Structure 1
Amino acid sequence: MMGYAAAEGDLEAGTEQRSRVSVEQKKSSTGWMWKVLGVLALLVLCVAGVRLFVWFWSERPEITRVHSEPPAAPRFTNPEEKTGSHSTLKQILRKAKAAIHLEGTYDEDGEHLELEWSDNVGQAFAQGGLRLDQNQISVPQTGLYFVYGQASFRVSCVDEAGATWRPATLSHRIWRLSDSIGTKVSLMSAVRSACQNVPEVGGKSGQGCYSAIYLGAVFQLNKGDRLWTETNQLSDLETDDGKTFFGAFAL
């Protein structure tokens, strides 16, 4: 039996062929890898471009507007205007189940020398069981209530001769009477000095100082409790709409 011996040329050819196949496989694998990386890079660029486009059209106008508009001039509150607290309270009260908001009046020539409250003038109203009774607020149910009040004053700071400052102390207080306590107690009070740091007025009478005392806090009240106010300097009270008020609402 004759054996077959591979010639030296055949061995070299086989080795070269295998080497060529291996190189081609490596090139093919590397090519696919670069194609995949290229596609991923293209997707990332597309996403980044879309996000940049969206930001440009949605955020940029706001930024431009903020930087292009001049700063707003400072607004000084006019004491004759309604207070911000009054407007905010009115919005809250309209949503409360039980609420009362009273407007104050005072008549120097009237029969009663006290601040009179009304629930049917201006912005005043009563709902949900809270009611005005004998110039006091009557509480219908036990619970948490926000109680508030404001007294506004315009005090003359000179005497009748127009030469001497007339110092005045203003006070405003809210009282509570409860059967569970058995006596009246002061819920809130404040005292303020008027005619402080008032500029010279040249001796002219009638010059005044505007001041307001605001009170407000949350209290646990009982059914049947009664609330009322006590205020001094009644002749100097400002009772225009929204300046002197008293109320409460359930929480």
Structure 2
Amino acid sequence: MKRGKKVIQSFFLQDVLHLICLKITRKGEMFLRKQLKIYYNIYLSGLFLVVFGIVIVLSSSAGYAITENQNPFIYLFKHLLGLFLAGIFLIFFERLGIEKFKKLITPLFILSIILLIIPVVTGNLRWIRIGILSFQPSELIKLTFLLYLSNYLTAIKKKGKINNIKSLILPSISLLIITILLQLQKDLGTFLIILFLFFLLLYIAGFPRKYLLSMVSAGVVLFSILIFIFPYRI
């Protein structure tokens, strides 16, 4: 009799464990499906933007290229070449892994600052031209500064130094260097975006509000001064 009860209990426990595992598996499967759906939506959105951009570039540049006695598809070719290079970088960084990528953030940020210096030295306002390709390093600095500051704030927050205003000396110096270079290129718009990102990330990281408000006030004053000093607005 006791043996029969043990057998029944054993089967009961196995059924319960089986149901639990099945439930966990189903939840995991549903979670993976949701994640995959998000990824698919991101990739489809990106693909839509790429195709839309190609159409816009072709429709807006063909007439201009013809007036310059050039191939009407010359700017489209440049755009496609840029997309090809971007695709290579996308695949590279996707396969790199997050930890290895974090190690590259600071070197990439330094490289983008160096690239930001080149238009100032060469006199090509905001642009770097390499053969048929040309790009604005100010666009790159937006991304690398965002990555650098995010990585830096994460590191000091883990160390418990987010409340120490001295921990912001390094990113503040970086921001000052970028500001000077952007003003030499007469790019007030990019400066405003970077300044906004700077304060936004400080707020998200949990930087003390009393310091943050003081810095925001100083930023507003600086921006107002730049508006009155320089005649450009973009």
* TM-score, normalised with respect to structure 1: 0.25
Q: Which has the larger radius of gyration?
A: 1
- Structure with the larger RCO, 1 or 2 (CA within 8 Å, 6+ apart): 1
User: By percentage of residues, which structure has more strand?
Assistant: 1
* TM-score, normalised with respect to structure 2: 0.26
